[in-house]
Copies of this chain bind each other. A is one copy, B any other.
C-alpha cells in the first residue's frame, strides 16, 4: 500500500468536498493500492496539522457545525505558506478562491509547494490564468507534478481526458460553454422569454449565481478558463488580459426571441481559433452538440486524428469539483 500524504489549503466548499470524497471513497482508494492521509488543513486564519492523519469525519462535523477553529489541533498562529513549507507531505491541494487580480493567496501557496518539492493539485484559476508558463516551468524544474483538472469545468473531464485518451492528437481549435451560471441565465431567457435581470435574480435565489456575480456575467471566469485551455492544449502563451471579453448583461429578450425563431440559441462561448482568444455571446444552432441547457458546460475540441470531440458535464458543485481534484491526486499516486 502506497501512503500519500495530502495537505488541503483552503477549506471552503471545495476543500471540504475533497475531505468528504477521501473519507467516502476510502475503500475504493485502497483497492487501487493507495492510502490517502490528510496531514494538514489550512484556512485564512490558521491551520490544523497532524502528521498521523486528521480524522476527517470529525473535521467535517466541525466544518458544518462550530467551525474548524474549534478543532483540538487548531493553530491560529500558523499561516498556510509556512505549513506548506514545513509539514512533510506529498501533495498540496490548493483550493483557495480564485483571484484574477494578482492570483493570491493561491500563487504564493503554489510557489511555496514547488520550492519545498511538493506536487500541486489545484482548482484555483487565478494563478494559472496569470502565470501559466512560469508555473509549469517552475514545477518542471522542481521535478514535481502540477495538475489542475478542476480549474476548468469542475466534474467535466478536460485535461486528464486529453492527456490519456487523446494522447498524440494535436488540438487545432477549442470552443465551449465554460460557465454554468451564465448558461443557466441564457437558457432561462431562451426557454421562458424573461429579461436578463429576472433570470439573474432567479439564479441568485437558486444559489446558482453569487451575490456579486460579475466574475460570471462579465465572462471573467470563462476567460480565465480559456487561457488555461489554450495554454495547456495548444501550447499558447496566453495571459488573461489577452482574451477579448463580452459579457451577457446587455442581451435583451428580443434578441433571444429572434435567434430562437431562426433556430438558434444565444450562448456565451469561449473560443480559441488561430491567434484569436475570446469569450462572447454567439448564435449556436439548436441541434448543435454545444447547445446544452441549464447549468451544463460543454467543450468541443477539433483534433487532427480523432477529429471533433465534445464533452458535456457539470462545471461546478462540491462533489463534482472534488471528483476532478481526486482524479489528479490518484494520477500522482499511481506514479509514486
Contact = CB atoms under 8 A, between A and B. Distances in A.
A327 interface: yes
| Listed residue (A156, A166, A168) with the most chain B CB atoms within 10 angstroms of its CB | A168
Contacts of A320: 305-307
A103 B40 CA distance: 52
Contacts of A165: 149, 157-161, 164, 324, 327
| A interface majority secondary structure | mixed
Nearest to A305: B323
Contacts of A296: 289
B314 A306 contact: yes
Interface in A302-336: 303-314, 317, 319-320, 322-324, 326-327, 330-331
How many of chain A's residues touch chain B, expressed as a range?
35 or more
A68 to B, nearest CB: 23
B161 A157 contact: yes
A173 interface: no
A233 to B, nearest CB: 14
Nearest to A157: B165
A183 interface: no
Interface of A: 21, 25, 28-29, 149, 154-161, 163-170, 286-287, 289, 291-293, 296, 298, 303-314, 317, 319-320, 322-324, 326-327, 330-331
8 contacts: A155-B306, A287-B293, A289-B289, A289-B298, A289-B312, A306-B313, A306-B319, A307-B314
